[in-house]
Amino acid sequence: MSDQADFVTRLPATWWEQFAGATLVAIETGMSEARLWRLDHGRGSSWYLKVAEGRVRAELRREIERTRWLADHHMRVPTILRVHEGSDFVAFLSHAVPGVVATHAEHPPAILAAAIGRGLAKLHALAVADCPFDETLRTRFARARRLIRDGEIDAANFDERNRNLAPQGLLDRLCERRPVEELVVTHGDATLSNIIVDHEATIGFVDCGHCGKADRYLDLALMAQELEETFGRAEARTFAAAYGESRWNAVKARFFADLYELF
């Protein structure tokens, strides 16, 4: 893709007024291949422009659809203002969720962990029967097989406990140990970088392209692991207690933490 100024000219003219007087700041998007800019207007709030080309266009369409669904169900997610389907790219403009990324929050770790627990509990309480998106193990296993087939999983990034396994070996082990699923509406990529926290410790969610029906531990395992690595075991326990998971299933948590290695 050309530079950002050239790219903006490829958007419909009706979008240009949104960019008037704004400074476009490129934002790192983690492992995503989509490109993201923040539009700073100097008015105390920000908009975001997210763009995908090539094969990742489908992923961005999925994010748009699922973010809108969550917004319709009263979750704190980005407000999607405009969507454009170009001949070779997809773009959307959104209004930011008020707050900061959880990794930059100024709340004490215990307060943050409890807030995230309550926020995920609210998400998981949505009516699963109303959710049209499937992120069950059947779907995740099929996606993992495609990624392995295409050579997109690097075992060098695996946790130390899995370093002796090739990606296919890890997938085979997971298939053999598949647990019974208790389905809820999940975020699907519940990392601290995808959690927004405001000054009152209210939680919001971004990067919602993997939202869907799945076992609650798809979210719980990943978040508990990251909280423990970032802050300590006490914060992971605080998170679980605030969520309402009084009997932590360590076997299921390990299973879903290992599954995340393949994404």
Which residues are registered as beta bridge partners of 186?
212
Beta bridge partners of 91: 51, 84
The CATH code of the domain that includes 63 is 3.30.200.20
Q: Note whether 16 and 143 are same-domain residues.
A: no
Count of domains in the chain? 2
Confidence of residue 11 (pLDDT cuts 50, 70, 90): confident
Residue 183 domain boundaries = 100-260
Q: Tell whether 47 and 64 lie within a shared domain.
A: yes
Average pLDDT of the chain is: 93
Q: Are 91 and 57 in contact (CB under 8 A)?
A: no
Strand ranges (DSSP E) for the chain? 23-27, 35-40, 46-53, 79-85, 89-95, 100-101, 183-186, 195-197, 203-205, 212-215
143-191 tens-digit pLDDT: 999 999 999 999 999 999 999 999 999 999 999 999 999 999 999 999 9
Of 95, 125, 151, the residue that ends a domain is 95
Does residue 108 share a domain with residue 78?
no
Report which of 192, 220, 222, 216 is spatially closest to residue 205, judged by C-alpha positions: 192
Question: 126: how many CB neighbours lie within 10 A of its CB?
Answer: 18
What is the pLDDT, as a whole number, of residue 34? 83
Say if residue 178 is in the same domain as residue 242.
Answer: yes
Q: Are residues 90 and 23 in the same domain?
A: yes
Q: Which of 95, 113, 140 is the last residue of a domain?
A: 95
Residues 130 and 238 in one domain: yes
Non-local (6+) Cβ contacts of 178 within 8 A are 137
Domain of 228: which CATH number?
Answer: 3.90.1200.10
Q: Flag whether the pTM goes above 0.85.
A: yes
Task: Return the minimum-mean-pLDDT range out of 23-32, 90-99, 172-181, 184-193.
Answer: 23-32
Choose the final residue of a domain: 36, 61, 95. Answer: 95
Residues 105 and 91 in one domain: no
**Statement to judge: residues 72 and 163 lie in one domain:** no
Regarding whether 107 and 76 lie in a shared domain, the answer is no
Q: What is the pLDDT of residue 5?
A: 54
Quote the pLDDT of residue 43: 64
| Cβ neighbours of 65 (radius 10 Å) | 17
- Give per-residue pLDDT as tens, 48-82: 999 998 889 999 999 999 999 999 999 999 999 99
Average pLDDT over every residue of 42-51: 81
* 46 and 115 part of one domain: no
Are 132 and 221 within one domain?
A: yes
Q: Say if CB 194 and CB 222 are below 8 A apart.
A: no
Residues 111 and 238 grouped into a single domain: yes
d(CA 89, CA 104): 31
